[in-house]
Amino acid sequence: MRVRPPAGLAVVGILGGAVLLVPFVALVAGVDLTRLPGLLSSPSALDALGLSLRTALTATAICLVIGTPLALVLTRLDFPGRSFARSLVLLPLVVPPVVGGIALTEAFGRRGLIGEHLQLLGIDIAFTSAAVVMAQVFVSLPFLVVALEGALLTRGEAHERTALSLGASPLRTFLTVTLPLLVPGLVAGLVLTFARALGEFGATITFAGSLQGTTRTLPLQVYLERETDPEAAVALSLVLVVVALVVITVAYGRRDRRRDDRQTGARA
């Protein structure tokens, strides 16, 4: 049997839950259902939704390609200052997104550290969908790296050692042993990465700008609609909430069920 929390704390806990949930309940209650289809099928809303899905999926794919090796480096490679490097990865997650946007502008803007040279090559990033993806990768990569670090550390290296001792090459060991074992952590990490990319606002508006179909993602559209049509903003917010709900159900629902199964098994 589970050890129940003291009754008083349970009450506070439930109040705590209300703090989190009440705003969302109010949001849903504020949606004008009769106007909903019209609001969601307007060209600007569809453009924003399409752009958000395209850029967030691209950003998630990029995070997968660069985040997995980064997590491996941070957990499996011994180098001085590794623990400091691991905390540095959290930086984009902790600083306000607008600060991230300013940092990206300083790096990749036309007069930026790297952007200046890209400009000479004829590459202009600001005001393009590529800038949106960069902003999303910047803020969401930590989610994937942290999830993978957790998976790598808790699982240990015994299986890989065995594979290596049996003569498998490091690459083959990675592809056939490490990667399959990482899949559950990877899925959870990718889902969170996608969700964070989809919700990106501050860095995008600072670094990429806001133009329908090119850089105005769903969160930016919500922010702009607030100016003239608060109801439309509420309707679009609902879309983001629903997507977020689906995402967390996929990422955490499965994991919880597995944990419950394990506990039930232990009791039997």
Partner 1 sequence: MRGRTGHHLGVALGLIVGSGVVLAGCSAPSSGSAESGTTLTVFAAASLGDSFEELADGFEQENPGVEVEYNIAGSSSLAEQILAGAPADVFASADEPNMHTVVAAGENSGEPEPFATNVLTLVTPADIPADTPANTPGITSLEDATAEGVKLVVCAPQVPCGRAALALAEDAGVELSPVSEEASVTDVLGKVTSGEADAGLVYVTDALGAGESVNAIELENADSAVNTYPITVLAAAAENGSEHPELAQRFVDYVLSEEGQSVLEADGFGAP
Q: Which residues form the interface with partner 1 (CB under 8 A)? A: 6-9, 11-12, 15, 105, 109-111, 116, 119-120, 126-127, 205-206, 209-212, 215-216, 220, 223-228, 230
The CB-of-53 to partner 1 minimum distance in angstroms stands at: 21
Q: Tell me the C-alpha distance between 48 and 46, whole Å.
A: 5
Smaller CB distance to partner 1: residue 121 or 158?
121
Smaller CB distance to partner 1: residue 16 or 69?
16
Smaller CB distance to partner 1: residue 75 or 129?
129
Smaller CB distance to partner 1: residue 58 or 119?
119
The CB-of-136 to partner 1 minimum distance in angstroms stands at: 17
Smaller CB distance to partner 1: residue 6 or 81?
6
The CB-of-207 to partner 1 minimum distance in angstroms stands at: 8
Q: Which residues contact 32 (CB under 8 A, 6 or more apart)?
A: 231, 234, 235
The CB-of-243 to partner 1 minimum distance in angstroms stands at: 22
In the block, residue with structure tokens 């998630």: 60
Q: Which residues contact 241 (CB under 8 A, 6 or more apart)?
A: 24, 27, 28
| b/e 168-196 (16+ beta carbons within 10 angstroms → b) | beeeebbeebbeebbeebbebbbbbbbbb
The CB-of-94 to partner 1 minimum distance in angstroms stands at: 23
* Range list of H helices, the chain: 7-29, 36-40, 43-76, 82-88, 91-94, 97-108, 115-120, 129-155, 158-165, 170-173, 179-199, 202-207, 218-228, 230-248, 254-267
